[in-house]
Amino acid sequence: MRYFLELRYNGAAYCGWQRQPDQPTVQQTLERGLTTLLRTPIEVTGAGRTDTGVHASYYVAHFDIETPIADPGQLVYKLNFLLPGDISVESLTPVADDLHARFSACEREYRYYIEPHKNPFTRHTTWQYYVPLDVERMNRAAAMLLEYEDFTSFAKLNSNNHTNICHIRHAAWTVDDRGVLCFTIRADRFLRNMVRSIVGTLVDVGRGRYTPEDFRTIIESRDLSRSSAGAPAQGLFLSDVRYPARLRGGF
């Protein structure tokens, strides 16, 4: 029997999603809680990796168990009681055995937040960056991402990617009434460190180091050394994971 979990987490205390020896991760923490409650070893498969310090305002994972869970709502209640305060499970839903949290996903969305002033209450969830940024220039450059498929210029070296091809469907900056910048990007897949590398390079466009056309040249170069340093992890959130409607069933 396969179950999908919808959850969210603050990644500040974790070395990413994926299980690692002798390091705290979200996957390990979730598996430990489920194993305790269900009294059988549980392995959880996530919708994708998030790196050290990266958050998820929406995340999906699945696990398999031989015996159906009698009361999923009660299990969610007990699981949230066991889990630390920085991980919250929102729902537990039985799904078809061929629905896979990672491989069935058709689109993922990330959001990156930049705050232009010091704020002690958001220092772990935004990049507090004090240099004025030209958002219009950044949006002109960001729109170019939709014209390309090969993002080698923003791919972390030695990541064992089978391909650096991604199909970006949306990429844009917005600014709220407090002046906080939010970069939203949606694609069928992302390369490791790709979003942070794109954000870091777009910030350099916004502060005048590069022009939007320079950004195009960086994409076309397929050379990681041409892009800027990646933006800090704490401003990045996985914000959505989408599945084809025909596969969702009751999920």
Q: List the single range of 110-119, 123-132, 173-182, 240-249 with lowest mean pLDDT.
A: 240-249
pLDDT for position 245: 76
pLDDT band at 158 (very low <50, low <70, confident <90, very high): low
- For residue 121, give every residue at least 6 positions away whose Cβ sits within 8 Å of its Cβ, in sequence order, or none: none
Tell me: pLDDT of 160 over 70.
no
Active site residue 51: yes
Domains plus CATH for the chain? 2-103 (3.30.70.580), 107-240 (3.30.70.660)
pLDDT tens profile 33-90:
999 999 999 999 999 999 999 999 999 999 999 999 999 999 999 999 999 999 999 9
Q: Give CA separation, 112 vs 124, 224, 243, in Å.
A: 12, 20, 22
Provide the mean pLDDT of the chain: 95
- Asked whether the predicted pLDDT for residue 251 surpasses 70, the reply is no
Please check whether residue 99 is in contact with residue 243, taking contact to mean a CB–CB distance below 8 angstroms.
Answer: yes
Of 22, 51, 204, 240, which is the active-site residue? 51
Q: What is the pTM of this model?
A: 0.94
HEC letters along 41-83: CCCCEECCCCCCCCEEEEEEEEEECCCCCCCHHHHHHHHHHHC
pLDDT of residue 249: 56
Q: Whole-angstrom Cα distance, residue 219 to residue 226?
A: 9
